Amino acid sequence: MRYRDLPTVEVELVIAATAELVWEIVTDITLPVDNTGELVGAVWLDGAHEPVVGAKFIGRNSNDYIGEWETICRVIDVEPGRRWVWEVSVEGAEPWAQWGFEVDPSRQGSVVRQFARLGLGRSPMLTAIENAPEKEGRIVSARLGEHRRAMSANLDEVKRRAESSG
């Protein structure tokens, strides 16, 4: 697995709640803060308060191996009630990654997906790969595994919130 191939990871979960309720939860940019992932804070910028194309927010992150950092996230795609996608970078740089949520109605309530695709921007992971190119496959695989665990925790939290409010 190579970084330049822009690998993707996706997690999906069925939730016994309406798509409208699930959408309300997945558009809360602070959702991952309640879980064990890297995001420790998020705040909308420039008066934005919901995902619309062009809206930006800051993500504050922490990782035992990487340290602490901030990213600028810019919403790049929105299908209201169904899908929103944002890219992550440092201001003015090529995106490190794209993240998103999708919500679809189902017979059981809703199907929600969270996904991430690595980008070619100058991320800490790219630096790690440059420092140990012989370990690229392991570095990428480990990072995608971290993302998968964090996304699973996010969707479990969406399910908990949605099904407890219903």
Q: pLDDT, tens digit, for every residue of 34-80?
A: 666 788 889 999 999 999 999 999 989 888 877 888 889 999 999 99
Residue 54 gets the label, from left (phi > 0), alpha (psi -120 to 50) or beta, of: left
pLDDT at 65: 75
Whole-prediction pTM: 0.91
pLDDT band at residue 142 under the 50/70/90 scheme: very high
pLDDT(166) > 70: no
Q: What is the 3-state secondary structure (H, E, C) of the chain?
A: CCHHHCCEEEEEEEECCCHHHHHHHHCCCCHHHHCCCCEEEEEECCCCCCCCCCCEEEEEEEECCCEEEEEEEEEEEEECCCEEEEEEECCCCCCCEEEEEEEEEECCEEEEEEEEEECCCCCHHHHHHHHCHHHHHHHHHHHHHHHHHHHHHHHHHHHHHHHHHC
Mean pLDDT of the chain, nearest integer: 92
pLDDT in tens, 76-110: 999 999 999 999 987 777 898 999 999 999 999 99
pLDDT at 36: 66
- Could you give the C-alpha distances from 4 to 45, 138, 166, in angstroms and in order? 30, 14, 43
Report the share of the chain in percent with pLDDT over 70.
97
From CA 6, how far away is CA 133, in angstroms rounded?
16
pLDDT band at residue 137 under the 50/70/90 scheme: very high
Across the range 19-28, mean pLDDT stands at 96
Q: Which tokens in the block code for residue 42?
A: 């998020």
Domains of the chain: residue spans and CATH: 3-36+79-165 (3.30.530.20)
CB 160 within 8 A of CB 38: no
